[in-house]
Amino acid sequence: MAYKILEKEEIAQSVHKMVVDAPDVAKAAKAGQFIILRIDELGERIPLTIADFEIEKGTVTVIFQEMGKTTKQLAKLSAGESLEDFVGPLGTPADVRKLGTVILVGGGVGVAPIYPQAKAYTKAGNRVLSIIGARNKDLLILEDEMRKASSELYIATDDGSKGHHGFVTDIMKKILDSGEKVARVVIIGPPIMMKVGAGVASPYDVEILVSLNSIMVDGTGMCGGCRVTIGGKTKFTCVDGPEFDARKVDFVELMNRLAMYRGEETKAVEKYEEECRCGLH
Amino acid sequence: MQLNEEKNEEKTGKAKKERTPMPEQPADERRKNFNEVTLGYTKEDALAEASRCLACKDPKCVEGCPVNVDIPGFIELICEEDFEGAIEKIKDTNTLPAICGRVCPQETQCEALCVLGKKAQPVAIGRLERFCADYDSQKGAKVPEVTKSTGKRVAVVGSGPAGLTAAADLAKLGHKVTIFESLHKSGGVLSYGIPEFRLPKKIVQQEIEYIKQLGVEFKPNYIIGRIKTLDELCDEFDAVFLGTGAGLPNFMGIPGENFSGVYSANEFLTRVNLMKAYDPAYNTRVRLGKHVVVVGGGNVAMDAARSALRLGADEVSIVYRRGEDEMPARREEIEHAKEEGIIFRFLTNPVLILGDEKFNVKAVECIKMELGEPDKSGRRSPVPVEGSEFTIPADVVVIAIGTSPNPIIFKGSEGLEQNKKGTVVADEETGATSKCGVFAGGDVVTGAATVISAMGAGKKAAKAIDEYLTGK
């Protein structure tokens, strides 16, 4: 099997968008779900959230940041090349319903999974207040798309190079303090941002959902590598999630489990970059 | 080369009473590599062993085989040195002989009923089957003839031993079969579970190629329950066979089970076997432990322990809550594990996993057990001995205490009866389920069992599906 890359673009520094020909996945995909891909025979399986999908064209869009060896290798591929494996849709779809006003918060590449949710919540008849952020304006992604998909869009950058100078959660707190009745907050981004965001929102009478990014192998519930503790119970992110009630998530455990292979990952990147310099890739 | 020493109570008897030993890698060598442990019979070995068969008129061995291979028939052909004829005879009823010859627990099946076993050692049927299959693949297996199409379409969900067997049998009967597999490689537990040193993946792929030649279409990366529901498959196909196995790992539910370094056997073995984490050329990693503790007493526990050893662990111990005699693992695997230096801690049960400040596992606290009264199933249940707690240092812990059916397959589908444990209720003889046109077999019906029992179920279901489709 091979899945052709139809489009490939660097949409921010080290952040890439890839449109893949995968009609079976496109037809079944829903907001909140993800895929697992494998570049080639030697490759590992990595999970990426579905950032967009078009049933008619049979395409699925993923957005990823260069972090480790596999994402760096993925960034080097261009349109016309193929991926060995591309399986999905995986995970339970996001619980999108008409609730009234919903705040969607996306940080860094976490804006990518927020985008299909913004579209879905808007379509379901909600007032969607979106807040997107990045370290600086060059790392900000999907601004135009998010503006179109939301009732209102707010931007925050850590260095103040665009929008609010500070964190996305500052804006979220301001809205929650404004007295506007908000039914739900969805926060997606790096685990530390979701942990902090959940902490900020938890004193308010609002539902808080996060989408977790555990380490995965198969993504179909057969190994438990992605297990997380939710309200004291073990759950598998790939099947029971990735969306969970933020108040119940054990973020400390999640972050420790994510660090499990850090040494090996660093070594793999160093080796890969060394080989690239020698022209082996 | 060290030879497998076989027990023989009647060493003074006729030489014929001793089965021909099979060459294998010496223990101190093989514990450092993932190459196959047993090396297979030579032609001379096979001829010597085949000549021991008494060619019974009413062969009991055939009854002991879940797929009823004509055992005396193929052994007679070996004696005549017609190895091609022998493999053809086996393949009449068994599509995966190279696999069965290696992983079947023959000691409880065909060989258990061999009449020679009453006074001496039974004929080494498994080794002879393997010899024929390996001879066949070395020569280049004959391309099977594709039967005239019946025009009927059957969907097989899952490409493990049950699905592969059902698919092959249905294709031979002229039905158009499509196999849906969620992983990127076919084979189920044959590919992700059983390690290379017991079942080389090249052999699994060869058997799968053979099934492709029968006209079976394989759809990898295709998850029923996510891409399509079972109900949708029922609409598109004339019949459906569910061979989705029992792939959901059970955990113990003790504190510390989510520390980094604690694996389900499924995850550990998937990383090692399917993703080849033992080979630095591949990108998937697995934590390399110095002190590895494996919990459980089945074949999966043996596979995990022996894999951990080969990844370079200093010490690997198996912790099992019952005694040695109660271990469900194959005798041969337990012996192999012992020879390789795996430590066995019987009547021991973990109660707590301890970790460091970074949530990495550092030890397992266990309690001693004693066997109490027999439970409903007749097995004596282990009871903790109060105050007998002790700790074993560990940087990797593998939980191999069993699996249950994965519920994804049932998502969005209706009318399929399941029992409390999540297994599918199906007729033992036909595999028919409560849902019209849907048949099931293997671990998804029985819970975790053996490769050959799954194949037997696939075979019975294929016959029943054929009757259902042709209105017999």
Tell me what the mean pLDDT of segment A118-147 comes to: 96
Give the one of A90, A253, A257 whose C-beta lies nearest to B226's C-beta: A90
Question: What tens digit of pLDDT does each residue of B314-334 get?
Answer: 999 999 999 998 898 988 899
Predicted confidence (pLDDT) per residue in A150-202, tens digit:
999 999 999 999 999 999 999 999 999 998 999 999 999 999 999 999 999 99
Q: Are A217 and A37 in contact (CB under 8 A)?
A: no
pLDDT above 80: residue A264: yes
Residue A120: predicted pLDDT = 97
Q: Which residues pair with B42 in a beta bridge?
A: none
For the record, the structure tokens of B73 come out as 């028939």
Instruction: Give me the pLDDT at residue B8, please.
Output: 39
Statement: residue B14 has pLDDT above 70: no
Which pLDDT score is estimated for B141? 66
Query: What pLDDT is attached to residue A280?
Result: 64
pLDDT level of residue B471 (50, 70, 90 thresholds): confident
Query: CB neighbours (10 Å) of residue B239?
Result: 24
CB neighbours of residue A237 within 10 Å:
27
**A242: how many CB neighbours lie within 10 A of its CB?**
26
Among B130, B112, B129, CA closest to B121: B112
Can you give the pLDDT at residue A203? Answer: 95
Residue B115 has a CB neighbour count (10 Å cut-off) of 15
Q: How many angstroms separate the CA of residue B460 from the nearest CA in chain A?
A: 27
What ipTM was reported for this prediction? 0.93
- Of residues B147, B121, B155, the one with CA closest to residue B13: B121
For residue B15, what pLDDT band results from cuts at 50, 70 and 90? Answer: very low
- Helices then strands, counting H and E runs in chain A, come out as 9, 16
Residue A192 DSSP class: H
A265-274, B29-38, B460-469: least confident range: A265-274
If you measure CA to CA, which chain A residue comes closest to B218?
A: A1
**Residues B221 and A45: beta-carbon distance below 8 Å:** no
Mean pLDDT, chain B, rounded, equals 91
B458 vs B455: CA distance, rounded Å: 5
Compute CA distances A1 → A36, A102, A195, B177, whole Å.
14, 40, 39, 18
B211: nearest Cα among B134, B368, B97, B363 = B97
User: Residue A23's closest chain B neighbor by CA?
Assistant: B227
Query: For the residues A228-237, what does the mean pLDDT come to?
Result: 95
What is the CB-side half-sphere exposure of residue A44 using CA atoms within 13 A? 26
∠ CA B275-B281-B282 to the nearest 5 degrees? 20
The model carries a pTM of 0.92
Which residue type occupies B171? A
- Check residue B3 and give its pLDDT: 43
Which of B157, B178, B183, B184 has the highest number of chain A CBs within 10 A, making it the mutation to test binding with A?
B184
Task: Output the pLDDT for position B218.
Answer: 97
**B285: chain A residues, CB-CB within 8 Å:** 44, 261, 264, 268
Task: Indicate the helix (H) or strand (E) that contains A230.
Answer: strand A227-230
Q: Tens of pLDDT along B62-85?
A: 999 988 999 999 999 999 999 999
Q: For chain A, which residues lie within 8 Å of any Cβ of chain B, measuring from their own Cβ?
A: 1, 24-25, 27-28, 38, 42-45, 69-70, 84-90, 217-218, 220-225, 227-229, 234, 239, 252-253, 256-257, 259-261, 264, 268
Under 8 Å between Cβ of B346 and B322? yes
- Range list of H helices, B154-269: 161-172, 189-192, 201-213, 230-236, 265-269
